[in-house]
């Protein structure tokens, strides 16, 4: 249920920012908000705490984001506090980013790798995605040590699996198939 509510708030702030011609500015704000919340366990606890009063949450958020985000984005914070939905702030920011990317024709390239991607690798992957799809993309890196090495790239309906785990699976199937044939 909270995902649907977050999506409604994200759509509302996107539409309002479009009317004000401030969608790029608000998008940058939402990126900062999502990143800040993701990186701070204390902020996550503050936002989700049913014990802390709204005024405490509001003053903390104003202090954290003062001079860093626009008045329009502070308006979203005020609205979420007023409606007792401030715990959705991080999710609203992420939903906004997704909606903004769709609006601008930017797709999300999900790259699963065993270790975090370097800047150089990010640039190469973005170039490859543009070459494959003809569209701009943003990268969402998912770290999963189980793939051992290499990467798995997902853009829309396209998936390219260049992981070591996948190559080992292919080899295993080939060995299994060969052993069945040789036993006949």
Q: For each of the domains in the chain, give its residue range(s) and CATH number, in order of start.
A: 2-102 (1.10.520.20), 105-183 (no CATH)
**Model confidence, pTM:** 0.68
- Which pLDDT belongs to residue 75? 94
Whether 111 contacts 150, CB under 8 Å: no
- Which pLDDT belongs to residue 183? 56
- Which pLDDT belongs to residue 31? 94
Alpha carbon distance 106, 108 (integer Å): 7
Other residues' Cβ atoms within 10 Å of the Cβ of residue 158: 12
To which H or E segment does residue 112 belong?
strand 107-113
Q: What share of the chain is helix, strand, coil (3-state, %, to 5)?
A: 65, 10, 20
- Which pLDDT belongs to residue 179? 65
DSSP letter (8 states) at residue 77? H
Other residues' Cβ atoms within 10 Å of the Cβ of residue 104: 13
Alpha carbon distance 165, 40 (integer Å): 32
Beta pairing partners, 128: none
> What does each of the 184 residues of the chain score in pLDDT, given as a tens digit?
578 999 999 999 999 999 999 999 999 999 999 999 999 999 999 999 999 999 999 999 999 999 999 999 999 999 999 999 999 999 999 999 989 988 888 888 888 988 998 999 888 888 888 887 888 888 888 999 998 888 888 887 788 888 888 888 888 888 888 766 555 5
Q: Are strands 151-155 and 158-161 parallel, antiparallel or unpaired?
A: antiparallel
At which residue do the structure tokens 């973005």 appear?
Answer: 126
Other residues' Cβ atoms within 10 Å of the Cβ of residue 80: 24
- Which pLDDT belongs to residue 107? 84
Alpha carbon distance 16, 78 (integer Å): 15
- Which pLDDT belongs to residue 130? 84
């Amino acid at each position: 249920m909270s995902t649907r509510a977050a999506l409604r708030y994200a759509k509302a702030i996107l539409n309002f920012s479009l009317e004000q011609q401030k969608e790029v500015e608000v998008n940058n704000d939402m990126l900062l908000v999502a990143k800040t919340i993701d990186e701070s366990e204390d902020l996550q606890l503050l936002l989700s705490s049913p014990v802390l009063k709204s005024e405490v949450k509001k003053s903390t958020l104003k202090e954290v984001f003062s001079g860093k985000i626009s008045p329009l984005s502070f308006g979203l914070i005020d609205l979420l506090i007023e409606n007792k939905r401030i715990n959705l702030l991080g999710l609203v920011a992420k939903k906004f980013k997704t909606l903004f990317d769709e609006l601008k024709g930017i797709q999300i390239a999900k790259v699963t790798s065993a270790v975090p991607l370097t800047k150089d690798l990010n640039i190469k992957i973005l170039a490859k995605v543009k070459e494959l799809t003809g569209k701009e993309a943003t990268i969402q890196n998912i770290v999963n040590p189980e793939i051992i090495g290499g990467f798995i790239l997902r853009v829309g309906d396209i998936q390219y699996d260049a992981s070591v785990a996948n190559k080992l699976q292919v080899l295993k199937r080939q060995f299994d198939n060969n052993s069945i044939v040789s036993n006949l």
